[in-house]
Chain A
Amino acid sequence: MAFVSPNLNLCFFTPKGNERAMYRYDEYDHALVKDRVAQFRRQVARRMSGEMTEEQFRPLRLMNGLYLQLHAYMLRVAIPYGTLDSRQLRKLAYIGRRYDKSYGHFTTRQNLQYNWPKLEETPDILAELAEVEMHAIQTSGNCIRNITSDQYAGAAADEIEDPRIWCEIVRQWSTLHPEFSFLPRKFKIAITGCENDRAAVLVHDIGLFMKRNASGGIGFKVAVGGGLGRTPFVGKIIREFLPKEDLLSYLEAILRVYNQLGRRDNKYKARIKITVHETGQEEFTRLVEEEWTQIKDTALKLPRAEMERIAAFFAPPEFNVLDGSAPIRDARIAADPAFASWVLNNTLDHKATGYSIANISLKPIGEAPGDVTSDQMDLVADLADEFSFGEIRVTHSQNLVLPHVEKESLSALFDKLAAAGLGNANVGLLSDIICCPGLDYCALATARSIPIATQITERFAEQKRLEDIGEMQIKISGCINACGHHHVGHIGILGVDRKGEEHYQIQIGGSADENATLGKILGRGFTAEEVVDVVEKIVDTYKELREGEERFIDTYRRVGQQPFKEKVYGTA
């Protein structure tokens, strides 16, 4: 981890024998994380002894990812751009078993949360994480949070360039950045590797699309001011093409303008989306460009050698030379409907001939979305070693990915996943629900979300029915903060408290792709008991109205909200 600021020179480091396509800590990284663990150990001891009050301790624990939730502390562990190797996942499994309740929860920002750590053991957990080059720094607070990315980075057939290279460069720049450690509000950056958005970048404070310009140069399209929460906005494109070497100076210019104009008087108006909205896109862009002009040719300009050095960490693994045929897979597809469904829904084409990307659904019927047991984590780590060069990815939709699996190994992989309860063939289908922890865990929540998700998956458990419905994204949040991304769900569900009772608003027509749109509220809300029936009515209406293979979102865009409203409220 190196730091870049106007006052510091760029100082990236050379990889040392990295066997896997991921960044490896050097001595400075190790020292920094180790020092932070020791510092937090002392802070915890002072808090436990009473030397420090909770008011004094709270910002310090939050800087280390430790929250106090409804029932216990919660530790949020950073998973930079959703990339893990098998030893890291085994460590997460071990921590879950040794210090928590033998499970973890993957979040929409590709992080992992433990729901039951003890304060007194948290320094030990952080020390365990440091052993595998992980930490919880900047997973909370008004700073630049974990950089998220396209989960198929380095594997997708349509990728322009591996976005993790740029995520890592941004991570190094933003880690403990002295100018941006106390922003008006938290700040989230996401990068997707192509012009298709697989990382919901348009609902981030800054969203970057890798892009090729007319002359073949590779750079970024820059969106600013996206976000969900109580005032949702789709990000505005403020630059169609930014050369790669100018990435950090341009980000710095955006952050500087935000740091100056962002409101600190009202927490609910402090995100950059409000700054962009109130300033106006044109004026905000002008201010950024003006700032950028002054700093673009400083030490922030990325030298080619440094870009190449970081890129070397993400060099592709040594794929076998294959001819692309897959007779074992194809024979089983023909003979085994369960396997055929899994291949159809959970695997994608890979850029290397003969390989597939394999998604592992963490959405079993009737269970909390994104939860995974320590035993399952260990198994996925073993499978990553056996089938995917030791690499694992976390998706913002709360699933896992083995990014590099030979097509001929898919059958064996599926058997091992299915035996561990990880063989659900529902990625991208209705039961692949994004869901926040809600009022079962979260101190901010106003209603439960997990029970709504489990009831929906139970109602729509039949595989044939799921596949008939096709692509469908249901997203559930337990409060207006929208951690469950309900604004951009094809069907979005927001839990609210109404006179002490849980109530749910339904909105439809949202999407989080490169054509991101915000859903519109259907009408009056519903009780928890009514929600699943409402979802079913929406789905039935779609099935009546769709033309051919038309997806739900396309039908909605063609017919509008009215037919759904009439069916749900019986107002025809």
Chain B
Amino acid sequence: MSQVVIASRLSDGRVVFLSKDAVEGAVVWASSLAEAALADDDSRAEEFLALSEADMLERHEILDPYLIDVVMENGEPRPTKNREVIRCFGPTVSQDFGKTSEGARP
């Protein structure tokens, strides 16, 4: 199991993820879970979260960053908890809004 940092974008509340650039120490917020930086152990996960929290205070681009558990399915990360599946890929009731409008499917 891996972990990724999920957050809300301050300007519009949309769900974003700490991108793979974090591996190089850079903070870029991506809109797709597929672009998220995967932390394979707790120490790396805490490092990513600390990076995110520092960025939140410095650039004011996001709020409420936290870690979620993901597993790989067909080469793509997928949250283990239902709530996070819906956050990352939903809502499930329409394909016109949120992540579903960007092509994601819960």
Contact = CB atoms under 8 A, between A and B. Distances in A.
A120 B12 CA distance: 7
B106 to A, nearest CB: 10
B82 A451 contact: no
A504 to B, nearest CB: 13
Given A48-B60, A500-B81, A451 B87 contact: no
A70 B90 contact: yes
Contact of B11 (A119, A441, A446): A119
B13 A448 contact: no
A118 B86 contact: no
B13 A440 contact: no
Contacts of B93: 368, 440, 448, 450-451, 454
Interface string B79-106: 0111100110011111011110000000
A71 interface: yes
Interface in A451-467: 451, 454
A119 B60 CA distance: 13
B97 A101 contact: yes
A119 B12 contact: yes
B94 to A, nearest CB: 8
A554 B37 CA distance: 58
Contacts of B92: 440, 448, 451
Residue among B13, B59, B90, B96 with the most chain A CB within 10 A? B13
A568 B47 CA distance: 51
B23 to A, nearest CB: 26
Q: How large is the interface on A (under 10, 10 to 19, 20 to 34, 35 or more residues)?
A: 20 to 34
Given A48-B10, A71-B90, A440-B91, A115 B63 contact: no
Contacts of A115: 97
A72 B97 CA distance: 10
B64 interface: yes
Contacts of A50: 57, 59-60
Interface in A426-451: 439-441, 446-448, 450-451
A118 B11 contact: yes
Contacts of A502: 82
A101 B99 contact: no
A68 interface: yes
A13 interface: no
Given A72-B98, A500-B80, A439 B13 contact: no
A64 to B, nearest CB: 15
A392 to B, nearest CB: 25
A71 B98 contact: yes
B96 A101 contact: yes
Nearest to B59: A50
A68 B8 contact: yes
B86 A73 contact: no
A116 B98 CA distance: 9
Interface in A483-538: 497, 500-502
Contacts of B57: 50
Interface of B: 8, 10-15, 57, 59-60, 63-64, 80-83, 86-87, 90-94, 96-99
7 contacts: A48-B60, A70-B83, A71-B15, A71-B90, A73-B13, A120-B11, A454-B93
